[in-house]
Chain A
Amino acid sequence: MSGREAILNKVRAAIGTAPEDAARAKIVKKRLANPPVGVIPARGQLPEEERVALFCLMAAKVSATVERVRKPGDVPKTVAAYLRSRNLPASVRMGADERLETMPWKALKSLEVKHGPATADDEVGVSHAIAGVAETGTVVLHSGGANPTTVNFLPEHHIVVVDAKEIAGDLESVFARLRQTFGKGKMPRTVNLITGPSRSGDIEQKLLLGAHGPRALHLIVVDGG
């Protein structure tokens, strides 16, 4: 008997059921097809402007830095200003995300934009989130041909662009949107929910920013996105 059958048989024996029990199968099928929504905190259930404000507040609380810009075209110069303010080299790593691609990066002659997955030497990565979660100040990113996951983790600084109108009140709304985009029960290889820059409290419980992931997380919220 394979490990699979042995485990399933033990589980069934413990529950006291047979594999052909149709009623149980129906319950499971129904829940997977129509997931019941549980308790949603009131905190994030706000009109758009307040929701975005809450998102910014919660992100700042977890040590992300947040900036709001009026339109997508403002993003490149905001990125360049961030690099200058942190004394970073004028070079960023990004994928080929179409929302980023349409921004006027080329207008900034001194800024080098490297495309493709991140390497160990990249200091700054730029990504576009598909959504934000106001409840916790979280940004949501996913992998795909134009979105390497390494950009989110290898560089010391991670700059994430998010459209204000994509900021949801709660996590459930974002998952519902992912379902719409990729089809029910399907997911891209990686979905990253990122809440602040990386940290560790492993030495004497002292919280330190910048463990293995980025030391700094800079969020650019685009209002007219």
Chain B
Amino acid sequence: MQITSPAFKENARRALSDAQLQKALGHVRSGFIDKRQYAVEALPEFDALRDSARAIKDHTLAHLDLYLEAYEEKVKKAGGYVHWAETAADARNVILEICRAAGARTVTKGKSMITEEIGLNEFLEKEGVRPVETDLGEYIIQLRGEHPSHIIAPAVHLTRDQVEADFRRAHDHLPVARDLSEPESLLGEARRVLRYQYFQADVGITGANFLVAETGSSIIVTNEGNGDLTQILPRVHVVVASIEKIVPTLEDVSQILRLLARSATGQDMSVYTTLSTGPRRPGDPDGPDEYHVVLVDNGRSSMLGTEFQDMLRCIRCGACMNHCPVYHAVGGHAYGWVYPGPMGAVLTPSLVGVDKAGHLPNASTFCGRCEAVCPMRIPLPKMMRHWREREFSRGLNPATQRYGLRAWAMFARRPKLYRLASSFGIPLLSFFKGRKGSFRYLPLAGGWTRHREMPAPEGRTFMQQWRDRDAQKQEARA
């Protein structure tokens, strides 16, 4: 997909003045947070499970080559195929080949962020294979020609009215007078329309939440059941998964499963957790004849062994964006690529380059809620700081910012000079503050005063006040 991350500021401005979007985002602010909180409080072992899950992923990443090999061996033993794709283009081509070999004209798809990342739908369409998204949210945004604005709730930026309008436009074979006023009727219509597609499809493509080295199983975690219909009805099942989805054993899966749904939707467990191992067995009455796994690197191996390695623990629950004040304000599309919110602010520069995505790690107040709720204890703010450092050291941020920071650093490294300058500056600002005690405009601080007033200092610097306080204490003691 087209990257618009370099235009983050413009995107954000547009998002803030989009009334429909702001109405839809209200549901994020009110919905996810309480549900997660309730589910987490009901499980006393939640924090212990977070430690356990972090240790599992750290161990796996430290032995990733070996677990990948072990996993591959098990998939093959179960009669499946493993394809290794270094880049997005490699992955697209492998998938197309599988579709061509199956003579596929229609493929159904379960919800998968990695297929968004590799731009699979546009590619397949161009090559004459019709992809049909079957997750309700994904289906809606596919009808609109959009991309997900949230990693687990792809259509969270839309209101019911918009969905109704899309369905009326896309399902023009249905009676115009039908009642679509309730979300229930919209869901019912999507269910009926998509039912037919599952049976039409020659290939079903899903992502994976986990790949289990012990058994060669891929696991999807869903609520709708669309992923399951996608992978049991067509003749060929293709799993697309990035290499860090590997976990060693079923015990490890159990640990992380207890975190995933609680962090994502506040459920104890999602409705469907499905383990798939190889194609249908001799004697099985249903299931696919072929089972393929496409293992995608696309930049993950370059994060290993760097200060961004911890990001590879991410299980894509979405808790960080659900709790992010910046995401709440601008929504997911403003981030300009596949992954929004705090996890996107760290991952996107890793995958597409900080030159393109440098705004994202800067679009943070560092309030720390993302790290506080991350089930995998990923230090997201710290990694955003690492990106800011890299951006600065490569000279990618604007000159005024760089010179400003340099000037500040020059004073900050020389405490005497800093105190001297502030002992002049603070009284000066205090002198000009006027009756309101704040400034509507300040030279060199237009970015601040354009949106809010700058409170004026009280007349003395912090250091001066601290000295006075000490002196008073001494006096009191004497």
Contacts and interface: CB of A to CB of B under 8 A. Distances in A.
A196 B27 CA distance: 24
Given A189-B279, A200-B136, A212 B229 contact: yes
Contacts of B44: 41-42
Contacts of B426: none
Interface in B21-43: 24, 27-28, 30-32, 43
Interface stretch (A3-11, A74-82, A100-108): A3-11
A203 B249 CA distance: 35
Where chain A touches its partner, the secondary structure class is: loop
Contacts of A19: 65
B68 interface: yes
Interface string A32-65: 1001111111110000000000000010001000
Nearest to B195: A120
A138 interface: yes
B251 A153 contact: no
Interface in A166-225: 170-172, 175, 178-179, 185-206, 208, 210-214
A39 B45 contact: yes
A120 B27 CA distance: 34
Interface stretch (A83-91, A123-131, A140-148): A140-148
B159 interface: yes
Q: Which of B158, B254, B280 has the most CB of A within 10 A?
A: B254
Contacts of B253: 175
B95 to A, nearest CB: 13
Contacts of A24: 63, 66
Contact of B191 (A62, A135, A212): A212
B275 A4 contact: no
A5 to B, nearest CB: 8
Contact of B224 (A154, A170, A211): A211
Nearest to A1: B86
Query: Chain A interface residue count: which class?
Result: 35 or more
Contacts of A172: 250-251, 254
Interface in B296-345: 297, 301-302, 304-306
A203 to B, nearest CB: 4
A6 B134 CA distance: 34
B56 to A, nearest CB: 7
A112 to B, nearest CB: 19
A205 B90 contact: no
B267 interface: yes
Contacts of A201: 31, 153, 223, 265
A87 to B, nearest CB: 18
A58 B12 CA distance: 42
B255 A35 contact: no
B255 A39 contact: yes
B228 A192 contact: yes
Contacts of B52: 38-39
B276 A190 contact: yes
Interface residues of B, number: 104
Contact of B64 (A15, A43, A58, A199): A15
A152 B271 CA distance: 12
A149 B228 contact: yes
Contacts, number: 276
B250 A35 contact: yes
Nearest to B154: A202
Contact of A145 (B156, B191, B285): B285
B183 A203 contact: yes
Contacts of A202: 135-137, 140, 153-156
Interface stretch (B212-220, B359-367, B413-421): B212-220
Given A8-B68, A15-B64, A200-B223, A205 B302 contact: no
B244 to A, nearest CB: 10
Contact of A28 (B32, B63, B274): B63
B191 A210 contact: yes
B224 A185 contact: no
B115 interface: no
Nearest to A18: B65
A29 to B, nearest CB: 8
A211 B191 contact: yes
A127 to B, nearest CB: 13
A200 B136 CA distance: 7
Nearest to A7: B297
A109 interface: no
B280 A213 contact: no
A157 B221 CA distance: 21
B57 to A, nearest CB: 12
Given A10-B297, A202-B135, A193 B274 contact: yes
Interface in B59-103: 59, 62-70, 74, 78, 83-86, 90
Interface in B195-254: 195, 199, 213-217, 223-226, 228-229, 232-233, 243, 248-254
B243 A11 contact: yes
Contacts of A73: none
A194 B224 CA distance: 11
A117 B224 contact: no
B346 interface: no
A62 to B, nearest CB: 7
Contacts of B68: 7-8, 11
Interface of A: 2-4, 6-8, 10-12, 14-17, 19, 24-25, 27-28, 31-32, 35-43, 58, 62, 95, 116-117, 120, 135-138, 143-145, 148-150, 152-154, 170-172, 175, 178-179, 185-206, 208, 210-214
Given A28-B66, A201-B223, 20 more contacts: A7-B243, A8-B69, A14-B304, A14-B306, A25-B66, A27-B63, A31-B248, A38-B49, A41-B258, A148-B286, A150-B233, A189-B279, A195-B267, A195-B268, A195-B269, A202-B136, A202-B137, A212-B224, A213-B225, A213-B228
For the complex of A and B, list the 4 residue pairs with the smallest distance between their C-beta atoms, beginning with the closest. Answer: A213-B225, A211-B224, A14-B304, A202-B137
7 contacts: A8-B65, A28-B66, A145-B281, A185-B215, A190-B275, A190-B276, A205-B156
